[in-house]
Chain A
Amino acid sequence: MGKGKDIDVFLRMNFLYQVMHKTIAKLPENLGLLYYYGFTLQMISQRTTSKLDHNIKSSICKRCSVLLYPGLTSIVRLKRKRSKHRVVTCLLCGTRKRFLCRPDYQVWYDKPGT
Chain B
Amino acid sequence: MSDSPFLKTVDESVTGSVFKDLPLSIFNQDGILKDVSNKFVSTFLKNRVDSRLLNLKELSKYSFPLEQIRVKKKKCSKKRQQLLSVSEKKQLGLFKINTKKLKFDDFVPIHNLWVQYMDEVIQESSDSSQLHQKLMKADYHGCFLVVCAARCSPYLGVSGIVMQETRNTFKLITGNNRVKTIPKKNTNFAFQHNGKFYKIVGNNFQSLSYERAKGKQKQAKSVDV
Contact = CB atoms under 8 A, between A and B. Distances in A.
Given A12-B138, A64-B89, A22 B113 contact: yes
A19 B141 contact: yes
Contacts, number: 83
Nearest to B95: A32
Interface residues of A, number: 34
Interface stretch (A43-51, A68-76, A77-85, A103-111): A43-51
Interface in B55-84: 80-81, 83-84
A1 to B, nearest CB: 15
Interface residues of B, number: 37
Given A11-B117, A16-B141, A26 B80 contact: no
Contacts of B142: 19
Contact of B213 (A23, A27, A48, A62): A48
A18 B113 contact: yes
Interface in B175-225: 208-211, 213-214
Contact of A95 (B80, B208, B210): B80
Given A19-B110, A22-B113, A40 B209 contact: yes
B120 A33 contact: no
